[in-house]
């Protein structure tokens, strides 16, 4: 049974920084980990992804250069460092584990509980 527990988030002024963490239990040391977000009235969107083995990363264009994803394999933990935050980054952020890659896409089977990030202007 895989469980993902998130921490971090909160309220910050525009231009500030926050760091999110996602600790996994169970067999999640293969595949990839991703961060997603969902703003009120909007669909959930991809933010970033990192693979456990190589550490290869991807970012949405909207966060590129401001957010950094990293992982600590020994701790089964993935981080999302968010700098230069903007009001449009306000959303509930979710981490997710993708143990497998099928048909050209990572399959996210497990999700964290979500954490609110609010950026004030």
DSSP-assigned beta bridge partners for residue 110: 97
pLDDT digits (tens, 9 = 90+) for 47-72: 999 999 999 999 999 999 999 999 99
Give the count of beta carbons closer than 10 Å to the beta carbon of residue 30.
12
Give the count of beta carbons closer than 10 Å to the beta carbon of residue 34.
23
pLDDT digits (tens, 9 = 90+) for 13-40: 999 999 999 999 977 778 999 999 999 9
Q: Give the residue from 111, 107, 45 showing the smallest Cα distance to 78.
A: 111
């Amino acid at each position: 049974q895989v469980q993902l527990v998130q921490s971090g988030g909160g309220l910050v002024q525009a231009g500030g920084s926050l760091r999110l963490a996602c600790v996994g239990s169970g067999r999640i040391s293969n595949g990839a980990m991703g961060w997603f977000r969902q703003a009120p009235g909007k669909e959930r969107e991809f933010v970033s992804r990192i693979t456990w083995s190589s550490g290869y990363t991807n970012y949405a264009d909207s966060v590129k250069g401001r957010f950094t994803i990293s992982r600590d394999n020994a701790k089964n933990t993935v981080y999302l460092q968010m700098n230069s935050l903007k009001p449009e980054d306000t959303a509930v952020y979710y981490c997710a584990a993708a143990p497998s890659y099928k048909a050209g896409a990572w399959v996210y089977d497990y999700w964290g509980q979500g954490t609110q990030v609010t950026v004030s202007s």
